[in-house]
Chains A and B, each alone.
Chain A
Amino acid sequence: MEEPTKAIKEIHPDPSATSGVHPMENLLRMERMPHIWCPTCGIGLAVTAFTAALTKANIDTNKMSIVSGIGCTGRVAGYVKLDSFHTTHGRPIAFGTGIRVANPGIKVVVFSGDGDLIAIGGNHFIHAARRNIDMLVICVNNFIYAMTGGQVAPTTPLAAYATTSPYGCVEPPFNIPYIADSAGAVYVARWTTLHVRRLTNSITEALQKTGFSVVEVISPCGMYYSRINRLGDGLDMMRFYHDNVEIRNGEDTKNLDIGFQTKIICGKFVDRERPSYMERYNQWLSEVKGARGEG
């Protein structure tokens, strides 16, 4: 067989145009840059916030694993320098559940898109929340299936256009914080990619929680969502967030619906304590062992 990496050469533009090392490089797979995301895409910002949060949260990154599904956001796992898995469409939560239950010493982060986590993976999402699996879910919501070219997602606002809703979306969208809250998540927040600092703070907080935490990141998809809907590029979306985001911490998650180009409510909505799956599991285990007279 041929030499492995020789046959598969990639082009890496020489990033020597400036001196010094970017502070996030130790947590990123720089050899894979540039990443695949389009100009003005917001996914890179979600990653920036995540890496910044990893540094701030001061946790042992060797004991972490990041799992992604499929989609533009699904590629995140491949760029973050942790033990990382790029799995099947919609299943990263299930995969991460296996990791967490088999080795409770590992902090699991699931980083994926809205279609991945809420459509095909919706069932895993609510059940992991119900069980309160100790895991942080970062859900990048760009209102569309981006990787496949702009189809209706479960989060596409009513009346918005997509390639599979050429006459405007007729399905009401999911309100992700509301699902997470009602299914039992212990931490729920939503920010846009413009609010990187607050987003970083939320991810930092969520990383330190025990239990199922969800951070929704509203993110521009300049290539599909805003182009199909004639909303300009990602920068125009960022300006839109600037003018139309209202921060209401502690808001009832019922009120967080997002319409087509309507106000977006951001904030930290849920922060509570509930015994996590492993806590209950271990308690049950010690009771069984106690009853059987085993150590």
Chain B
Amino acid sequence: MKFWRKPLDLDKITVPHGEVHIFKDRCKGCAFCVEYCPKDVLDMSEEFNIKGYHPPYVKNPDDCLECHLCEMLCPEFAIFVTLKEEEKSAKVPINKGEK
């Protein structure tokens, strides 16, 4: 992660990691999620879904910060994010990317 000013407590902060779930067949290929993902996790795939659109795929799974922006920006309810399984049990503070 890049910071313009290194936080003093950087070593104490745990960055949450998310897992992106895509319902490929609901997608209409608008690319909103790809365009606005702050970490470039997603990219449009070459494959076609059942409706003939190109759905996104998870290009950089480890970079997802669980900010849920793709979930909010998908007009088709086709994509959502959960906290990675191992982190859920570790009870890290969840940064929803808000406020």
Which residues of A does B touch, CB under 8 Å? 13-15, 17-20, 22-25, 28, 30, 33-35, 37-45, 47-49, 52, 194, 196-197, 200, 233-235, 238-239
Q: Known A-B contacts: A13-B50, A33-B26. Give 16 more (CB < 8 A).
A: A13-B25, A18-B23, A18-B24, A19-B21, A20-B82, A33-B76, A33-B77, A34-B26, A41-B75, A42-B75, A44-B75, A47-B75, A196-B69, A197-B69, A235-B32, A239-B35
Q: Is B77's CB under 8 angstroms from A14's CB?
A: no
**Chain B residue, CB-CB nearest to A33:** B26
Complex Cα gap A97–B31 (Å)? 39
Q: Given A44-B77, A48-B77, A197-B72, A235 and B31 touching (CB < 8 A)?
A: yes
Q: Is B77's CB under 8 angstroms from A13's CB?
A: no
**Chain A residue, CB-CB nearest to B73:** A196
Q: Is A15's CB under 8 angstroms from B23's CB?
A: yes
* CB neighbours of A194 from chain B (8 A): 36, 73
Indicate if B40 sits at the interface (CB-CB under 8 A).
no
Q: Is B80's CB under 8 angstroms from A20's CB?
A: yes
For window 39-91 of B, CB contacts with A under 8 Å fall at 49-51, 53, 69, 71-78, 80, 82
Q: Is B30's CB under 8 angstroms from A235's CB?
A: yes
* CB neighbours of A19 from chain B (8 A): 21
Interface CB pairs A-B, < 8 A, 23: A13-B50, A14-B25, A17-B24, A17-B25, A22-B23, A22-B77, A23-B80, A34-B76, A39-B30, A40-B32, A41-B75, A45-B73, A47-B75, A48-B71, A48-B73, A48-B75, A52-B72, A196-B69, A197-B98, A200-B72, A233-B30, A234-B32, A235-B32
* CB neighbours of B25 from chain A (8 A): 13-15, 17
Indicate if B29 sits at the interface (CB-CB under 8 A).
yes
Determine how close the nearest CB of chain B comes to the CB of A186; give it in whole angstroms: 24
Cβ-defined partner of B76 (8 Å) among A42, A44, A233: A44
**Chain B residue, CB-CB nearest to A40:** B30
Which residues of B does A touch, CB under 8 Å? 21-26, 28-32, 35-36, 49-51, 53, 69, 71-78, 80, 82, 97-98
Q: Total contacts A to B, CB within 8 angstroms?
A: 94
Q: Is A28's CB under 8 angstroms from B77's CB?
A: yes
* CB neighbours of B77 from chain A (8 A): 22, 24-25, 28, 30, 33, 44, 48
Q: Is A13's CB under 8 angstroms from B75's CB?
A: no
Cβ-defined partner of A37 (8 Å) among B21, B75, B82: B75
Determine how close the nearest CB of chain A comes to the CB of B75; give it in whole angstroms: 3
Q: Given A196-B73, A235-B35, A17 and B22 touching (CB < 8 A)?
A: yes
**Chain A residue, CB-CB nearest to B75:** A44
Determine how close the nearest CB of chain B comes to the CB of A190; give it in whole angstroms: 18
**Chain A residue, CB-CB nearest to B28:** A39
Complex Cα gap A42–B75 (Å)? 7
Closest 8 CB pairs of A and B: A44-B75, A39-B28, A17-B24, A13-B25, A196-B72, A40-B30, A18-B21, A13-B50
Q: Is A234's CB under 8 angstroms from B71's CB?
A: no
**Chain B residue, CB-CB nearest to A30:** B77
Cβ-defined partner of A43 (8 Å) among B50, B75, B82: B75
Complex Cα gap A238–B98 (Å)? 20
Complex Cα gap A196–B69 (Å)? 9
Determine how close the nearest CB of chain A comes to the CB of B30; give it in whole angstroms: 4
Cβ-defined partner of A13 (8 Å) among B26, B74, B98: B26
Q: Is B51's CB under 8 angstroms from A34's CB?
A: yes
**Chain A residue, CB-CB nearest to B35:** A235
Complex Cα gap A13–B51 (Å)? 8
Complex Cα gap A240–B86 (Å)? 39
* CB neighbours of B21 from chain A (8 A): 18-20, 22
